[in-house]
Structure 1
Protein backbone atom coordinates (compact mmCIF):
# COMPACT_ATOMS: atom_id res chain seq x y z
CA UNK A 1 0.00 0.00 0.00
CA UNK A 2 1.09 3.55 -0.67
CA UNK A 3 2.34 5.37 2.46
CA UNK A 4 0.08 8.39 1.77
CA UNK A 5 -2.93 6.05 2.03
CA UNK A 6 -1.76 4.32 5.21
CA UNK A 7 -3.85 6.60 7.43
CA UNK A 8 -7.02 5.66 5.56
CA UNK A 9 -6.13 1.97 5.51
CA UNK A 10 -5.46 1.85 9.26
CA UNK A 11 -8.41 3.92 10.50
CA UNK A 12 -11.13 2.02 12.28
CA UNK A 13 -13.68 2.84 14.93
CA UNK A 14 -13.03 2.19 18.59
CA UNK A 15 -16.23 1.51 20.57
CA UNK A 16 -17.11 4.57 22.63
CA UNK A 17 -17.19 2.49 25.83
CA UNK A 18 -13.54 1.61 25.17
CA UNK A 19 -12.36 5.23 24.96
CA UNK A 20 -10.82 6.89 28.01
CA UNK A 21 -8.63 9.82 28.93
CA UNK A 22 -6.78 11.61 27.62
CA UNK A 23 -8.51 13.25 24.70
CA UNK A 24 -7.53 16.22 22.58
CA UNK A 25 -7.54 19.60 24.33
CA UNK A 26 -6.24 23.11 23.78
CA UNK A 27 -4.14 23.68 20.68
CA UNK A 28 -4.39 20.04 19.66
CA UNK A 29 -8.20 20.17 19.73
CA UNK A 30 -8.16 23.47 17.86
CA UNK A 31 -5.98 21.91 15.13
CA UNK A 32 -8.30 18.90 14.91
CA UNK A 33 -11.33 21.16 14.53
CA UNK A 34 -9.62 23.32 11.90
CA UNK A 35 -8.78 20.21 9.91
CA UNK A 36 -12.28 18.76 10.36
CA UNK A 37 -14.06 21.73 8.81
CA UNK A 38 -11.95 21.61 5.62
CA UNK A 39 -14.68 19.85 3.66
CA UNK A 40 -16.32 20.22 0.26
CA UNK A 41 -18.91 22.96 0.71
CA UNK A 42 -20.89 23.80 -2.42
CA UNK A 43 -21.88 27.46 -2.22
CA UNK A 44 -19.63 28.12 0.80
CA UNK A 45 -22.68 27.82 3.05
CA UNK A 46 -20.84 26.30 6.04
CA UNK A 47 -23.84 24.02 6.59
CA UNK A 48 -22.54 22.58 9.84
CA UNK A 49 -21.55 23.38 13.37
CA UNK A 50 -20.09 21.50 16.32
CA UNK A 51 -21.16 21.26 19.96
CA UNK A 52 -18.64 20.10 22.56
CA UNK A 53 -19.66 17.78 25.39
CA UNK A 54 -16.93 17.44 28.00
CA UNK A 55 -16.61 16.81 31.74
CA UNK A 56 -19.71 17.38 33.86
CA UNK A 57 -21.67 18.51 30.80
CA UNK A 58 -21.49 14.97 29.40
CA UNK A 59 -22.95 13.57 32.62
CA UNK A 60 -25.71 16.19 32.68
CA UNK A 61 -26.50 15.49 29.02
CA UNK A 62 -26.77 11.77 29.77
CA UNK A 63 -29.07 12.44 32.73
CA UNK A 64 -31.35 14.53 30.52
CA UNK A 65 -31.33 11.86 27.79
CA UNK A 66 -32.28 9.19 30.30
CA UNK A 67 -35.20 11.35 31.41
CA UNK A 68 -36.32 11.81 27.81
CA UNK A 69 -35.95 8.09 27.10
CA UNK A 70 -37.98 7.27 30.22
CA UNK A 71 -41.13 8.63 28.55
CA UNK A 72 -41.24 5.14 27.02
CA UNK A 73 -42.90 3.10 29.80
CA UNK A 74 -41.50 -0.14 28.33
CA UNK A 75 -37.90 1.07 28.75
CA UNK A 76 -36.09 -1.23 31.15
CA UNK A 77 -34.04 0.07 34.05
CA UNK A 78 -30.89 -1.30 32.37
CA UNK A 79 -31.59 0.57 29.13
CA UNK A 80 -32.31 3.77 31.03
CA UNK A 81 -28.97 3.40 32.80
CA UNK A 82 -27.29 2.81 29.43
CA UNK A 83 -28.74 6.10 28.17
CA UNK A 84 -27.60 7.88 31.33
CA UNK A 85 -23.97 6.74 30.93
CA UNK A 86 -23.70 6.62 27.11
CA UNK A 87 -21.66 9.84 26.85
CA UNK A 88 -19.45 9.40 29.92
CA UNK A 89 -16.69 7.14 28.60
CA UNK A 90 -14.76 9.15 26.00
CA UNK A 91 -13.34 12.38 27.41
CA UNK A 92 -14.66 14.33 24.42
CA UNK A 93 -17.91 14.02 22.48
CA UNK A 94 -18.52 16.36 19.57
CA UNK A 95 -22.06 16.73 18.28
CA UNK A 96 -21.91 17.34 14.54
CA UNK A 97 -24.91 19.37 13.42
CA UNK A 98 -26.09 19.99 9.86
CA UNK A 99 -27.51 23.48 9.22
CA UNK A 100 -29.57 23.25 6.05
CA UNK A 101 -30.33 26.49 4.23
CA UNK A 102 -33.65 25.68 2.57
CA UNK A 103 -33.57 28.84 0.47
CA UNK A 104 -30.23 27.90 -1.12
CA UNK A 105 -29.74 26.59 -4.64
CA UNK A 106 -27.57 23.90 -3.03
CA UNK A 107 -29.70 20.79 -2.45
CA UNK A 108 -30.22 19.81 1.20
CA UNK A 109 -28.49 16.45 0.65
CA UNK A 110 -25.28 18.23 -0.36
CA UNK A 111 -25.41 20.35 2.77
CA UNK A 112 -25.97 17.30 4.97
CA UNK A 113 -23.16 15.41 3.23
CA UNK A 114 -20.82 18.34 3.95
CA UNK A 115 -21.67 17.98 7.65
CA UNK A 116 -21.09 14.23 7.34
CA UNK A 117 -17.65 14.98 5.91
CA UNK A 118 -16.90 17.03 9.03
CA UNK A 119 -17.78 14.01 11.17
CA UNK A 120 -15.55 11.75 9.08
CA UNK A 121 -12.69 14.25 9.16
CA UNK A 122 -12.98 14.17 12.96
CA UNK A 123 -12.52 10.39 12.83
CA UNK A 124 -9.54 10.65 10.49
CA UNK A 125 -7.99 13.51 12.42
CA UNK A 126 -8.39 11.75 15.76
CA UNK A 127 -6.71 8.68 14.30
CA UNK A 128 -3.88 10.78 12.86
CA UNK A 129 -3.31 12.27 16.33
CA UNK A 130 -3.16 8.82 17.93
CA UNK A 131 -6.65 8.80 19.44
CA UNK A 132 -9.54 6.47 18.89
CA UNK A 133 -12.96 7.64 17.83
CA UNK A 134 -16.45 6.43 17.03
CA UNK A 135 -19.27 8.18 15.13
CA UNK A 136 -22.65 7.24 16.61
CA UNK A 137 -26.22 8.32 16.05
CA UNK A 138 -28.94 6.30 17.78
CA UNK A 139 -32.39 7.53 18.71
CA UNK A 140 -31.04 10.73 20.27
CA UNK A 141 -29.84 12.00 16.87
CA UNK A 142 -33.40 11.96 15.54
CA UNK A 143 -35.43 12.98 18.58
CA UNK A 144 -37.15 16.39 18.71
CA UNK A 145 -36.74 16.69 22.49
CA UNK A 146 -33.01 16.03 22.20
CA UNK A 147 -32.81 18.63 19.43
CA UNK A 148 -34.45 21.10 21.81
CA UNK A 149 -32.04 20.08 24.58
CA UNK A 150 -29.14 20.87 22.23
CA UNK A 151 -30.86 24.15 21.30
CA UNK A 152 -30.95 23.26 17.61
CA UNK A 153 -32.71 25.64 15.26
CA UNK A 154 -35.54 24.42 13.03
CA UNK A 155 -33.16 24.00 10.09
CA UNK A 156 -30.63 21.96 12.09
CA UNK A 157 -30.31 18.26 12.79
CA UNK A 158 -27.76 15.99 14.42
CA UNK A 159 -25.54 14.17 11.97
CA UNK A 160 -23.77 12.27 14.72
CA UNK A 161 -22.06 12.16 18.06
CA UNK A 162 -18.31 11.69 17.59
CA UNK A 163 -16.70 10.19 20.70
CA UNK A 164 -12.92 10.79 20.92
CA UNK A 165 -10.37 9.51 23.43
CA UNK A 166 -7.55 7.09 24.04
CA UNK A 167 -8.33 3.46 23.20
CA UNK A 168 -8.39 1.33 26.35
CA UNK A 169 -8.12 -1.91 24.37
CA UNK A 170 -6.73 -3.01 21.01
CA UNK A 171 -9.65 -3.24 18.61
CA UNK A 172 -9.24 -5.58 15.64
CA UNK A 173 -10.23 -4.21 12.29
CA UNK A 174 -13.47 -5.52 10.87
CA UNK A 175 -13.85 -7.17 7.50
CA UNK A 176 -14.23 -4.63 4.71
CA UNK A 177 -15.99 -5.07 1.37
CA UNK A 178 -13.93 -6.27 -1.56
CA UNK A 179 -13.47 -3.51 -4.11
CA UNK A 180 -14.96 -5.81 -6.76
CA UNK A 181 -18.23 -5.86 -4.78
CA UNK A 182 -18.70 -2.08 -4.85
CA UNK A 183 -16.85 -0.88 -7.96
CA UNK A 184 -18.00 -0.92 -11.57
CA UNK A 185 -17.28 0.90 -14.79
CA UNK A 186 -20.11 2.61 -16.60
CA UNK A 187 -20.33 1.91 -20.28
CA UNK A 188 -22.65 3.60 -22.80
Structure 2
Protein backbone atom coordinates (compact mmCIF):
# COMPACT_ATOMS: atom_id res chain seq x y z
CA UNK A 1 0.00 0.00 0.00
CA UNK A 2 2.84 2.42 0.74
CA UNK A 3 4.14 2.09 -2.83
CA UNK A 4 0.69 2.96 -4.12
CA UNK A 5 0.44 6.00 -1.84
CA UNK A 6 3.89 7.14 -2.90
CA UNK A 7 2.90 6.80 -6.56
CA UNK A 8 -0.28 8.80 -6.03
CA UNK A 9 1.53 11.54 -4.10
CA UNK A 10 4.19 11.94 -6.78
CA UNK A 11 2.35 11.04 -9.99
CA UNK A 12 3.41 13.15 -12.94
CA UNK A 13 2.86 12.68 -16.64
CA UNK A 14 5.71 12.40 -19.11
CA UNK A 15 5.46 14.62 -22.15
CA UNK A 16 4.27 12.71 -25.23
CA UNK A 17 7.19 14.03 -27.27
CA UNK A 18 9.58 12.20 -24.92
CA UNK A 19 7.85 8.82 -25.24
CA UNK A 20 9.62 6.16 -27.27
CA UNK A 21 9.79 2.40 -27.67
CA UNK A 22 9.22 0.12 -26.05
CA UNK A 23 5.51 0.53 -25.62
CA UNK A 24 3.23 -2.05 -24.07
CA UNK A 25 2.65 -5.35 -25.82
CA UNK A 26 -0.88 -6.50 -26.62
CA UNK A 27 -1.38 -8.35 -23.31
CA UNK A 28 -0.14 -5.38 -21.27
CA UNK A 29 -2.33 -2.98 -23.21
CA UNK A 30 -5.41 -5.18 -22.76
CA UNK A 31 -4.69 -5.34 -19.03
CA UNK A 32 -4.36 -1.54 -18.89
CA UNK A 33 -7.74 -1.12 -20.55
CA UNK A 34 -9.30 -3.73 -18.23
CA UNK A 35 -7.97 -1.75 -15.26
CA UNK A 36 -9.12 1.53 -16.83
CA UNK A 37 -12.67 0.15 -17.01
CA UNK A 38 -12.80 -0.53 -13.25
CA UNK A 39 -14.26 2.83 -12.32
CA UNK A 40 -17.41 4.13 -10.63
CA UNK A 41 -20.21 3.64 -13.14
CA UNK A 42 -23.67 4.48 -11.81
CA UNK A 43 -26.19 2.28 -13.60
CA UNK A 44 -23.49 0.00 -15.06
CA UNK A 45 -23.73 1.87 -18.37
CA UNK A 46 -20.03 1.74 -19.30
CA UNK A 47 -20.42 5.22 -20.87
CA UNK A 48 -17.01 5.08 -22.54
CA UNK A 49 -15.09 2.92 -24.94
CA UNK A 50 -11.47 2.50 -25.97
CA UNK A 51 -9.82 2.79 -29.37
CA UNK A 52 -6.21 1.80 -29.97
CA UNK A 53 -4.86 4.12 -32.63
CA UNK A 54 -2.22 2.21 -34.56
CA UNK A 55 0.72 4.04 -36.13
CA UNK A 56 -0.88 3.58 -39.57
CA UNK A 57 -4.18 5.10 -38.38
CA UNK A 58 -2.38 8.01 -36.72
CA UNK A 59 -0.33 8.65 -39.86
CA UNK A 60 -3.48 8.70 -42.00
CA UNK A 61 -5.33 11.04 -39.63
CA UNK A 62 -2.22 13.21 -39.35
CA UNK A 63 -2.18 13.64 -43.13
CA UNK A 64 -5.90 14.36 -43.35
CA UNK A 65 -5.70 16.97 -40.60
CA UNK A 66 -2.68 18.60 -42.26
CA UNK A 67 -4.63 18.79 -45.54
CA UNK A 68 -7.58 20.27 -43.68
CA UNK A 69 -5.35 22.95 -42.16
CA UNK A 70 -3.78 23.72 -45.55
CA UNK A 71 -7.17 24.81 -46.84
CA UNK A 72 -8.51 26.40 -43.68
CA UNK A 73 -8.85 29.93 -42.45
CA UNK A 74 -8.46 28.91 -38.81
CA UNK A 75 -6.36 31.23 -36.66
CA UNK A 76 -2.96 30.05 -35.37
CA UNK A 77 -2.58 27.32 -38.00
CA UNK A 78 1.07 26.70 -37.07
CA UNK A 79 0.11 26.14 -33.44
CA UNK A 80 -2.62 23.74 -34.58
CA UNK A 81 -0.05 21.83 -36.67
CA UNK A 82 1.99 21.22 -33.52
CA UNK A 83 -1.05 19.58 -31.95
CA UNK A 84 -1.26 17.22 -34.90
CA UNK A 85 2.43 16.29 -34.61
CA UNK A 86 1.81 14.87 -31.12
CA UNK A 87 -0.15 12.05 -32.76
CA UNK A 88 3.11 10.59 -34.06
CA UNK A 89 5.39 10.60 -31.00
CA UNK A 90 4.40 7.76 -28.66
CA UNK A 91 4.59 4.10 -29.64
CA UNK A 92 1.08 3.48 -28.28
CA UNK A 93 -1.96 5.74 -28.34
CA UNK A 94 -5.36 4.92 -26.85
CA UNK A 95 -8.37 7.18 -27.29
CA UNK A 96 -10.92 7.02 -24.50
CA UNK A 97 -14.26 8.01 -25.91
CA UNK A 98 -17.23 9.18 -23.88
CA UNK A 99 -20.40 7.47 -25.11
CA UNK A 100 -22.69 9.25 -22.65
CA UNK A 101 -26.34 9.31 -23.65
CA UNK A 102 -29.55 10.60 -22.13
CA UNK A 103 -30.77 8.25 -19.43
CA UNK A 104 -33.85 8.55 -17.19
CA UNK A 105 -31.82 8.07 -13.98
CA UNK A 106 -28.14 8.77 -14.66
CA UNK A 107 -27.30 12.36 -15.68
CA UNK A 108 -24.86 13.01 -18.51
CA UNK A 109 -22.56 14.70 -16.01
CA UNK A 110 -22.12 11.44 -14.05
CA UNK A 111 -21.47 9.53 -17.24
CA UNK A 112 -18.79 12.02 -18.31
CA UNK A 113 -17.19 11.78 -14.87
CA UNK A 114 -17.05 8.01 -15.25
CA UNK A 115 -15.26 8.44 -18.59
CA UNK A 116 -12.80 10.81 -16.90
CA UNK A 117 -12.18 8.23 -14.19
CA UNK A 118 -11.41 5.67 -16.91
CA UNK A 119 -8.87 8.11 -18.36
CA UNK A 120 -7.14 8.52 -15.01
CA UNK A 121 -7.15 4.78 -14.37
CA UNK A 122 -5.49 4.32 -17.76
CA UNK A 123 -2.62 6.55 -16.67
CA UNK A 124 -2.24 4.67 -13.38
CA UNK A 125 -2.37 1.31 -15.18
CA UNK A 126 0.32 2.40 -17.65
CA UNK A 127 2.56 3.50 -14.78
CA UNK A 128 1.89 0.26 -12.85
CA UNK A 129 3.08 -1.67 -15.93
CA UNK A 130 6.30 0.37 -15.90
CA UNK A 131 5.44 2.76 -18.73
CA UNK A 132 5.14 6.51 -18.92
CA UNK A 133 1.96 8.16 -20.18
CA UNK A 134 0.30 11.48 -20.90
CA UNK A 135 -3.39 12.36 -21.20
CA UNK A 136 -3.91 14.86 -24.01
CA UNK A 137 -6.63 16.34 -26.11
CA UNK A 138 -6.16 18.69 -29.02
CA UNK A 139 -8.13 21.13 -31.12
CA UNK A 140 -9.22 18.41 -33.54
CA UNK A 141 -11.29 16.58 -30.92
CA UNK A 142 -13.47 19.70 -30.56
CA UNK A 143 -13.67 20.66 -34.24
CA UNK A 144 -16.61 18.82 -35.80
CA UNK A 145 -15.02 18.63 -39.27
CA UNK A 146 -11.78 17.28 -37.84
CA UNK A 147 -13.31 14.91 -35.32
CA UNK A 148 -15.41 13.38 -38.11
CA UNK A 149 -12.13 12.08 -39.57
CA UNK A 150 -11.67 10.06 -36.38
CA UNK A 151 -14.77 7.96 -37.05
CA UNK A 152 -16.70 8.79 -33.90
CA UNK A 153 -20.30 7.68 -33.63
CA UNK A 154 -23.05 10.27 -33.29
CA UNK A 155 -22.93 11.94 -29.86
CA UNK A 156 -19.53 10.55 -28.89
CA UNK A 157 -16.72 12.77 -27.61
CA UNK A 158 -13.06 12.04 -27.06
CA UNK A 159 -12.36 12.32 -23.34
CA UNK A 160 -8.64 11.64 -23.65
CA UNK A 161 -5.94 10.62 -26.03
CA UNK A 162 -3.54 8.67 -23.82
CA UNK A 163 0.01 8.43 -25.14
CA UNK A 164 2.02 5.52 -23.70
CA UNK A 165 5.68 4.56 -24.03
CA UNK A 166 9.03 4.61 -22.33
CA UNK A 167 11.09 7.64 -21.39
CA UNK A 168 14.29 8.35 -19.54
CA UNK A 169 13.66 12.10 -19.59
CA UNK A 170 13.29 13.51 -16.09
CA UNK A 171 9.80 14.76 -15.35
CA UNK A 172 9.54 18.34 -14.18
CA UNK A 173 7.28 19.05 -11.23
CA UNK A 174 4.74 21.79 -11.62
CA UNK A 175 2.88 23.90 -9.11
CA UNK A 176 0.02 22.12 -7.42
CA UNK A 177 -2.87 23.73 -5.56
CA UNK A 178 -2.39 24.40 -1.88
CA UNK A 179 -4.91 22.18 -0.09
CA UNK A 180 -5.93 25.00 2.25
CA UNK A 181 -6.91 27.10 -0.78
CA UNK A 182 -9.29 24.47 -2.13
CA UNK A 183 -10.62 22.90 1.07
CA UNK A 184 -13.80 23.84 2.91
CA UNK A 185 -14.99 22.06 6.02
CA UNK A 186 -18.74 22.42 6.48
CA UNK A 187 -20.07 22.09 9.98
CA UNK A 188 -23.64 22.09 11.28
TM-score clears 0.5: yes
Alpha-carbon separation, structure 2, partners of 1:80 and 1:74:
9
1:89-104 equivalences in 2 (<5 Å): 89-104=89-104
Q: Return the offset for 1:11.
A: 1.4
* Aligned partners of 1:66 and 1:80 also within 8 Å: no
* Aligned partners of 2:83 and 2:138 also within 8 Å: no
Alpha-carbon separation, structure 2, partners of 1:180 and 1:79:
36
Residue equivalent to 1:166: 166
Alpha-carbon separation, structure 1, partners of 2:76 and 2:112:
34
Alpha-carbon separation, structure 2, partners of 1:142 and 1:63:
18
* Aligned partners of 1:63 and 1:84 also within 8 Å: no
Residue 88 of structure 2: SS of its match in structure 1? coil
Alpha-carbon separation, structure 2, partners of 1:174 and 1:37:
28
Residue 180 of structure 1: SS of its match in structure 2? helix
* Aligned partners of 1:135 and 1:162 also within 8 Å: yes
Alpha-carbon separation, structure 1, partners of 2:98 and 2:113:
9
Residue equivalent to 1:111: 111
Residue equivalent to 1:135: 135
Residues 10 and 46 of structure 1, relative CA distance in 2, 3 Å threshold = same
TM-score (norm 2): 0.90
Residue 186 of structure 1: SS of its match in structure 2? coil
TM-score (norm 1): 0.90
What's the Cα RMSD here?
2.0
The superposition leaves residues 74-126 of structure 1 with CA deviations (integer Å, 9 ceiling, x where unpaired) of 56674465244221110111111101121342000110111111111111111
Residue equivalent to 2:180: 180
Please state which structure has a larger fraction of its residues in strand.
1
The superposition leaves residues 166-188 of structure 1 with CA deviations (integer Å, 9 ceiling, x where unpaired) of 12411122222222122221123
* Aligned partners of 2:32 and 2:122 also within 8 Å: yes
Residue equivalent to 1:157: 157
Alpha-carbon separation, structure 2, partners of 1:128 and 1:70:
41
Q: Does 1:13 find its partner at 2:13?
A: yes
Alpha-carbon separation, structure 1, partners of 2:80 and 2:101:
35
Alpha-carbon separation, structure 1, partners of 2:187 and 2:144:
45
Residue 155 of structure 1: SS of its match in structure 2? coil
Residue 43 of structure 2: SS of its match in structure 1? helix
Aligned length: 188
Unaligned runs of 5+ in 2: none
Alpha-carbon separation, structure 2, partners of 1:104 and 1:140:
31
Residue equivalent to 1:122: 122
* Aligned partners of 2:80 and 2:139 also within 8 Å: no
